Amino acid sequence: PVDAKEELLEECESIWKQMEECQSKLMLLGTDTLLQSDAKLSLLMLQWKALTVDYRQWQARNPEIISTNPDVLLELGKEELQKVKNDLEMVLSTVRSKNKKLEEDLKREQQWCEEQEQMLDTLNKTEEEMKTQVEQLSTKRGFDELKNKIMKLKTYKKELLSALGEFLDEHFPLPEKGENTKNK
């Protein structure tokens, strides 16, 4: 396994050197000075061309076997499976934490909703109570107004009767005893 790792590392280093050479060639090709807006457009066009070339190369490429040594392949497989396992564990952990956060958010939202519903019920009850109080007050107010009118009419009647009595006493006095009752 140690020899297989060293062989694999050497192959990877040679491939990496080839990639660095290609990258430096690409960098030398795109060093023209441009205006800022033209530079962005040019950069995007170069990226698009590079991605298109990469796409075509991947489409035309047949998978290469890195090594024919079974020990190298076994080690590579183990490493790749370990990476995939680690990645999946990270994804699982992330999903669990998001689910936990979503559950907490849901509980808070449900509690808030319940509080709002209780508040709405309380406000509706208060509104009904106020309506009945207003109706009672308006009925009581009407009754009080009628009572006041009756009291005013009774007072006015007393005033009229006393004014009439004074008028009669002044203009039509009662006959006194001993006077001729025939004339009276």
26 in a domain, yes or no?
A: yes
3-state secondary structure 123-134: HHHHHHHHHHHH
Instruction: Please indicate, yes or no, if residue 78 is contained in any of the structural domains.
Output: no
Rounded distance between C-alpha atoms, residue 54 and residue 153, angstroms: 107
pLDDT (tens digit per residue) in 106-161:
999 999 999 999 999 999 999 999 988 888 877 887 888 889 999 999 999 999 99
d(CA 34, CA 41) in angstroms, rounded, equals 10
Average pLDDT over every residue of 55-67: 72
Residue 152 lies in a domain: no
Top-confidence range, 5-14, 67-76, 163-172 = 163-172
Distance separating alpha carbons of residues 158 and 123, to the nearest angstrom? 51
Look at residue 66 and tell me if it is in a domain: no
pTM, two decimals, is 0.37
Question: Do 36 and 107 contact (CB within 8 A), yes or no?
Answer: no
In a domain, 129, yes or no: no
